């Protein structure tokens, strides 16, 4: 993967990126290694592996233009809190001329055990505040979700504390493995499409 320079993909004038990949979480070092920030971590790693730098913009997001196997992509991490992700994501979708089915939101998922990762096309939000914000801002449910399992809290009342807390070592190790598989799936998605990426993840 080779990072592109500033501007709209040199050598690809007029072409839109193939995908906009957004990792959602909460800003600041206090949240960096929490369950809620696994989406942010994946996109930061994807940018790092691409040699691209996520730069802060006026649109409440850190954004990088990158290339995966010859396909132009935009990587982004909102600088808002999770439940306000919709505004910066919608701005990027409009600016890049991306249709919702070419938007990938990378998120934490309580309904999946640590170490599990799935790629979902559209659907509901299961009460996820970040997804609800994005869905409301886009007025669409048709975007892709890369769901990284972080496990259920001990009780419903402890949900907020659960996602905002640091993981036990064994859970952290499992989630890191899921992030690695998610990175691989993003490369397959960009190169070969949704079905191929789902087959990669769901066959395991």
Q: What is the 3-state secondary structure (H, E, C) of the chain?
A: CEECCCCCCCCCCCCCCCEEEEECCCCCHHHCCEHHHHHHHHHHHHHHHHCCCCEECCCCEEEEEEEECCEEEEEEEECCCHHHCHHHHHHHHHHHCCCHHHEEEEEEECCCCCCCEEEEECCCCCCCHHHHHHHHHHCCCCCEEEEEECCCCCCHHHHHHHHCCECCHHHHHHHHHHHHHHHHHHHHHHHHCHHHHHHHHHCC
Active site residues: 36
Q: Map tokens 């320079």 to a residue.
A: 5
């Amino acid at each position: 993967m080779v990072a592109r320079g500033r501007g709209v993909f040199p050598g690809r004038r007029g072409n839109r990126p193939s995908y906009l990949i957004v990792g959602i979480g909460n800003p600041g070092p206090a949240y960096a290694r929490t369950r809620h920030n696994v989406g942010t971590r994946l996109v930061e790693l994807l940018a790092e592996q691409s040699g691209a730098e996520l730069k802060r913009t006026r649109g409440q997001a850190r954004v990088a233009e990158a290339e995966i196997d010859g396909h132009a992509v935009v990587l982004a991490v909102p600088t808002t809190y999770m439940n306000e992700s919709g505004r910066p994501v919608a701005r990027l979708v409009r600016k890049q001329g991306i249709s919702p089915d070419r938007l990938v939101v990378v998120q934490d998922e309580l309904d999946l055990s640590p170490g599990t990762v799935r790629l979902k096309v559209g659907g509901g939000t299961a009460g996820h505040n970040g997804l609800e914000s994005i869905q409301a801002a886009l007025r669409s449910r048709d975007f892709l979700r890369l769901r990284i399992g972080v496990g259920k809290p001990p009780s419903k009342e402890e949900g907020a504390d659960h996602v905002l807390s640091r993981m036990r070592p064994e859970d952290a190790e499992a989630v890191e493995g899921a992030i690695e598989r998610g990175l691989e799936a993003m490369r397959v998605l960009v190169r070969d499409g949704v079905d191929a990426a789902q087959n990669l993840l769901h066959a395991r």
